[in-house]
Amino acid sequence: MMFDLDAPTLNRYVMKNTKDPELVLLLNSLATSFKLIASAVGRAGVAQLYGLAGEVNSTGDDQKKLDVMSNDMMINALIHSGVCCVLVSEENEDPIIVPADKAGKFCVAFDPLDGSSNIDCNVSVGTIFSVYEKKEGTVQDLLRSGSDCICAGYCAYSSAVELVFTFNGGTVEGFCLDPTIGEFVHTRFNMRFPADGGKRIYSCNEGNYIHWDKPIQDAVNIFKSGVDGEPYTARYVGSMVADIHRTLLYGGVYIYPADKKSPKGKLRCLYEGIPMALIIEQAGGIASTGYFQGKIGRVAELVPDAIHCKCPIIMGGPRDVGLIYDCYKKAGIETPSL
């Protein structure tokens, strides 16, 4: 068995890339909560954590036992970090204002267990987070576009526990939890979309096909019938973290557009759309809203009007998002250049 005598840990990476000791404390607290959640997810069957908790969350979804537990783990870790002032969780309808004696300068929005509807059948789940710096110490500090987000990331709980993280304006880095030392170790460096577009994969919930606008239907039909005689492969887990992680590593495109059933989209802007957009764009991909509010724009430019507001998402490499843009152009919709 090999031992790393100089393990490049998450702590080391954060300390090297920021001169802010409070940001180091924040990332350390987040990492601790991810380890706790990973442990709970891994023991869910044995500890009888599957099933519903009997409540619904802020977005109307039935809460699972693991949802509630993961949420409490994150809230406790962040409050006691001493560096947070406002927290927003998918599981809480209202923002959490940290008591003054424990308050610091960061505002954190998070989905503690994304994809938890899959947890009972042992499918991958994850945590997504975005971090902003305090201006007033109120929830308004979080209602800002992705340009004000100072760092973001997600943690995937599967056969391995992987954290993907980026500072605004920086590179996208991957860390894997080494259970033998209990630390996230730097394993993926400067993560980028495959230069040639990678695998031809499209990822969407085709059960919503009849609700989509025609350009999205046309694009998916092209994916299915093939480009240059080669049809795309369909892959859809239903856990955003898993689908985005695969798209980032393998290439392809992930689609959850606005449609007739969900005119504002389905995914949450503050703790799903914006953090994933920051990661996708800084890895060389495109994070588009598709046609939304009269135009095609960037997810990172959206300004949330409420903490749980929704947004549509088309995320992937330029090759495949470009194909969708071509379908918008044919429909006479002005399309930004890639």
Q: Which residues are catalytic?
A: 61, 67, 90-91, 111, 113-114, 272
Those residues whose C-beta lies under 8 Å from the C-beta of residue 67, and which sit 6 or more positions away, are 53, 57, 91, 112, 113, 116
Q: Closest Cα to residue 99, out of 119, 120, 77, 82?
A: 82
From CA 142, how far away is CA 149, in angstroms rounded? 9
> CB of 245 within 8 A of CB of 158?
no
Strands 103-114 and 310-311: unpaired
**Alpha-carbon Rg of the chain, whole angstroms?**
19
Pairing label, strands 233-234, 310-311: unpaired
Residues listed for the chain: 338
Give the CA count within 13 Å in the CB-facing half-sphere of 335. Answer: 18
Positive or negative, the CA dihedral 56, 279, 316, 243 is: negative
Alpha-carbon distance of 54 to 65, in angstroms, equals 8
